[in-house]
Structure 1
Amino acid sequence: MQKAKYSKFKLVRNLLLFCLLFSFIFTGGYSIGRNGFIADFKSFPKATISRNVPPDKQNVDFELFWKVWDTLDLRYFDKSKLVPGKMVYGAISGMVAAVGDPYTVFLPPDGNKLVQEDLKGNFDGIGIQIGYIGTLLAVIAPLPGSPAEEAGVKPGDLIAVIKDAEKGIEVGTGGMSIPDAVGLIRGSAGTKVELTLLREGTKEPIKVEIVRKTIDVPSVTLEFKPGVSGGTDKSIAVIRVTKFGGETLSEWNEKVAEILNEADTKMIIVDVRNNPGGYLQGAVDLASEFLETGETVVIEENGKGEREESKVVRIGRLRNFKTVVLMNKGSASASEILAGALRDQKKIKLIGDTSFGKGTIQEPQQINGGSGLHITIAKWLTPKGTWVHEKGLEPDVKVEDKEDTKEDDQLQTAIDEVQKL
């Protein structure tokens, strides 16, 4: 490890790991005016336009930029549409998009504010996290109990068309950015949006009309299950983590206290199904409950190949419980960090489906005027050096949740497996 050269990496302990990128982000967001999609910013700053080129950018030719700017100013028929602040935002967004990384994005003030609100878990929308499978816009996961889940939206569904009849919008998603899609899908509670979905194993497109609502979802829930003897004992604690947001650690601590107060509880199932990720530090905090002090949770590697390890720095409270992890293809990013660390370090079994495969880290930066820039600054590896990007983690016990049964097949398998330990 090259600590001296890599000391700045200590500043990114609270980086956001966005499942592509906004899982989310829980259908909050905005639309930017490019590729023929709508622009819907409520306000733009007053722009002071200067054509002076900074001394360190003298070798960059801005002549074409200004030629286009001036031609629009001279020739465009509706001058009311030429809002300098809006045009500057569009230019910046296009510049960032030119990098070709869907997780590196510029957020105008409205969009940046919504991202922060969404991580707190209270927002209006349909309750899905969106990202990419390859280059195709896809559902990472619906939130538990959300309108999207109730409408039958599944992890891995490809979003082909977004329609909002009230706004007069119906667009295909080819080439669409996550911010564009988020802006189209998000809306006020009580309004409707229709998604046309493509699903593996289904020949025909699936159209679902979803009524948006205000969603307030806790990020950690707990229920107890009886052991082999059945009855009312609380042998098994099923602790479900739906995201790694701003309130997750405090909610987690409350549930862990409940587990420790139950004398019957000897086994734990950590359920991160449909968890798209969130704060990197959240994954480190939760993994630390099960690992030994000094053990590595995750390795961060920058573009120069320099590595920094996040290690356990406290005594975990759940180290002596028999544990398995439940995951599916909606488990991404920070969820995969948690699952990968527990398997690599303690040989804890992963049960369910192959995870999503999101292996990069984005650093959120606050820019002038309330704008934000989320920039990919590293990839992350499991303690044994595995990069899960676009591959995911393979489960030790693979089981699909059958749609034609009411039973939660994956959870039942996890209950069976944890009792074998």
Structure 2
Amino acid sequence: MQEVTKNSGFKKARQTLGIIFSMSLLFGIGYLLGYKGYLVSLDKFPIVTVDRSYQPERELDFSLFWDVWDRLENGYYDKSKIKHGDMVYGAIKGMVSSVGDPYTVFFTPKENAIVQEDLNGNFEGVGIQIDFKDSALTIVSALPGTPAQAAGVLPGDQIIKIIDRSNNVDKFTERMSLQEAIALIRGKMGTSVTLTIKRSGEDDLQEFDIQRSSINVPSVKLGYVGENESLAHVNVMKFGGETKAEWQKVVAEIVARQTKGVILDVRNNPGGYLTGAIEVATEFIADGNVVTEAMADDRRQEYKVYGGGKLYRVPLVVLVNEGSASASEILAGAIKDHKRGKLVGAKTFGKGTIQEPQALTNGAGLHLTISKWLTPNGVWINGAGLEPDIVVEDNSDTEVDEQLEKAIELLR
């Protein structure tokens, strides 16, 4: 996005729309967990430039916009804060946020880069996954072995305030976008950020001072549990770009070992590429639909298993909790509706919409909610989550993983 400058051309532009937005939109097939998008290099796809010049039939009046622009530019006391590029970005953010959907978001180039870091799984921060729950910024999961987990933050904790004294940040999260929150929480390894937390069932707010570190989030971890380690415990931590290759290696080892059963653990899995969820479902479900996309015009698109799975007959239990969101809910919902295995644990997060990521000029981006997704039985879990077949609460006061123990018991 070019900065807006004061010249005759700029004044002339006011007489039309004010600004001509030239957007480089990328179109393609492929699906992202909750997102429609690419799983491959973006530079291989055609770029279409859309010229959004003034359209008289819309009878748009931008006089108030420019009145406020001029008052801010001419009257604000600290001229160093007046940056035309940031003002345009801010105006776009306000326009997008007006629909009241926390998942429809405009990203500046810096924020958009964070989205890619999330999918790649390598960044510097505290190691939490966050999202909005009932309009509150909520911790979906604290990743294993990270500073956040060591500090004691829990899934379901609401982040009320973010403080980073080294960067003069002291901001409440109300009306904050998801990407702004992520950008504020992340930072250079060795620096600290303080999160003010509201925990369910507790009246007093808590502050957690957490030192940032280098975070490398794997997609899949494999271990063995039960008598004689006869059960495979597969922890799918996200559905990222590397998940397919990691998952295929895990499946090959399970098949070679001839395990008695599989415990598929998607607790605290915040999502990722939808293609990854279908890939995993394909190993367990022989035929049928994994998820249905329901569009605003009443069209529906089913996404079925690929076929050729290797674990159709292996007994299965799926572990879920309140940190299981989006693509992990799609996978768990498919397993549940096809009666392929039991869901054990706690009710899931409840994110049932699909966003299309659109790449804009200079690395900016737009995530636009375009549809909702339904389980194979036609259930929309948005805001409600998936109810497990067997509810087991994990007691944080003990070292025992009660949910995992229940899964082992079911597969004996």
Task: From 292, 297, 300, give the equivalent of 1:304.
Answer: 297
Shift of 1:408: 0.8
Q: 1:132: which partner in 2?
A: 132
Instruction: Write the letter of the residue equivalent to 2:320.
Output: M
- 1:372 aligns with 365
Q: What is the distance in 2 between the residues matched to 1:100 and 1:193? A: 28
Question: 1:75/1:201 Cα in 2 relative to 1: closer, same or farther (>3 Å)?
Answer: closer
Aligned-partner Cα distance in 1 for 2:195–2:72: 35
Residue 159 of structure 2: aligned partner: 159
1:32 paired residue number: none
The equivalent residue for 1:315 is 308
Question: Residue 16 of structure 1 contacts residue 363 of structure 1 at CA under 8 Å; is this kept in 2?
Answer: no
For residues 237 and 402 of structure 2, the distance between their equivalents in structure 1, rounded to whole angstroms, comes to 19
Secondary structure in 1 aligned to 2:155?
Answer: coil
Once the two structures are superposed, what CA deviation does each residue of 1:312-361 show, in whole Å capped at 9, x if it has no partner?
Answer: 12211111100010010000000000000011113411000000000001
- Map 1:323-338 to 2 at 5 A: 323-338=316-331
Contact 1:324 1:348 in 2 (8 A): yes
1:281 equivalenced with 2:298 (yes/no): no
Match of 1:121 in 2: 121
- What residue number does 1:257 align with? 252
Instruction: Give yes or no for contact 2:291–2:330 (8 Å, CA) kept in 1.
Output: yes
State which drifts further: 69-78 or 147-156.
Answer: 69-78
Matches within 5 A, 1:211-290: 211-226=211-226, 230=227, 233-263=228-258, 265-290=259-284
Instruction: Look up the SS of the partner of 1:91 in the other structure.
Output: helix
Q: Distance in 2 between matches of 1:225 and 1:53?
A: 62
TM-score by length of 1: 0.85
Work out the percentage of aligned pairs sharing the same amino acid.
51
Give the CA deviation at 1:234.
3.3
Q: Note the C-alpha offset of 1:11.
A: 5.2
Question: Whole-Å Cα distance in 2 between the matches of residues 260 and 124 of structure 1?
Answer: 36
1:3-402 aligned within 5 A: 13-17=30-34, 53-55=53-55, 58-226=58-226, 230=227, 233-263=228-258, 265-293=259-287, 295-402=288-395
Query: Which residues of structure 2 form unaligned runs of 5+?
Result: 1-26, 36-50
CA contact (8 A) 1:291 1:346 kept: no
Query: Cα deviation per residue 1:271-307 (whole Å; 9 max; x = unaligned)?
Result: 00000001111111111111113x0000000112211
- Contact 1:12-1:363 at 8 Å conserved across structures: no
Q: Which amino acid aligns with 2:190?
A: G
Q: CA deviation at 1:58?
A: 4.2
Distance 1:418 1:278 in 2: 28
Q: Find the counterpart in structure 1 of residue 39 from structure 2.
A: none
User: How much has 1:165 moved relative to structure 2?
Assistant: 2.2
Q: 2:402 aligns with which of 378, 403, 409?
A: 409
| Pairwise CA RMSD | 1.8
Cα deviation, 1:146-175, whole Å, max 9, x if unaligned, reads: 111111111100111211122232222222
The AA in structure 1 aligned to 2:382 is H
Contact 2:270–2:327 (CA<8 Å) still a contact in 1?
yes
The offset of 1:74, in angstroms, is 2.6
Q: How many pairs align?
A: 371
Pairwise CA distance, 1:12: 5.0
1:277 is paired with a residue whose SS is coil
| TM-score for the superposition, normalised by structure 2 | 0.86
The whole-number CA distance in structure 2 between the counterparts of 1:76 and 1:223 is 60
Aligned partner letter, 2:316: T
Distance 1:94 1:339 in 2: 35
The amino acid of 2:303's aligned partner reads S
Query: Structure 2 CA distance, aligned partners of 1:244 and 1:57?
Result: 45
Letter in 2 for 1:151: A
CA distance in 1: counterparts of 2:218 and 2:78, whole angstroms: 47
Secondary structure, counterpart of 1:288 in structure 2: helix
Query: Which SS does the other structure have where 1:70 is aligned?
Result: helix
Gaps of 5+ in 1: 1-9, 19-49
